[in-house]
A = this chain, B = another copy of it.
């Protein structure tokens, strides 16, 4: 891999990730001339702060059994406080400390991540099917690459975070992994590295000895059934990215030293 190529790094929201080690690795690649775009999560801390603010997280179960976060307007605002405020500015400060001129943006800023809001969400509540219409979630369909490219060309490292913006100009909660995948596709990134609290995709979660070391791009969707919980969306994101031409998606351990170096050296689950 040659410098000037773009790497998109998705940093999960688990509290046991080694933020200092990730930041140092980012600095090394940046100073070697790679163009990096960071996307970060923050679900765990959002749940804690939402609870402190008297609006604890709620989850919706769809009739097919899929669970997702309920995002009413109040939840969305707490989400913005934690993701766009505390965590995004925390990452910018941490990277500035390492000499990187980071710029933190949400998907609202410059319509960086634009997409469709779900008009209604089907949910099973006390065994009854309900339609929830005041939920602010959706999917990223467009990425403002011109804004990202002009920041990168001017020497800034973009640090991106949900929410995104709907076509009707509403802030919408979107999956960070899939937003990172769309970003990697839009920038023709050489690789998308997804750092989490596990060493990669595990055949029998949580047994780390069952790590799947590699998956051929054309088989990735078959692994959707292997993935547990939040890992499902990551496999979906990976499938979207490799299908659209990102040559490598790597699920890697964000708790270790040199996590990006190790991911690019083939540790974790490499999808290509």
Residue A211 at the B interface, CB < 8 A?
no
Q: Is the beta-carbon distance between A111 and B85 smaller than 8 angstroms?
A: no
Report how many copies the assembly holds: 2
Q: Kindly state the interface size class of chain A when it binds its partner.
A: 35 or more
**Min CB–CB distance A162 → chain B (angstroms):** 11
Q: Name which of A52, A101, A109 has the most chain B CB atoms within 10 A of its CB.
A: A109
Residue A96 at the B interface, CB < 8 A?
yes
Considering the complex of A and B, which 4 residue pairs feature the smallest CB-CB distances, nearest first?
Answer: A85-B85, A81-B85, A81-B81, A97-B169
> Which residues of chain A have a CB within 8 Å of any CB of chain B?
49, 52-54, 77, 80-86, 88-90, 92-93, 96-97, 101-106, 108-111, 146-147, 150, 154, 156, 163, 165, 169-171
- Other than the given A96-B169, A104-B105, A104-B109, 15 more pairs (CB < 8 A) read A52-B53, A52-B54, A77-B86, A80-B86, A80-B89, A83-B85, A84-B88, A92-B106, A92-B108, A93-B169, A96-B165, A102-B109, A103-B105, A105-B105, A147-B156
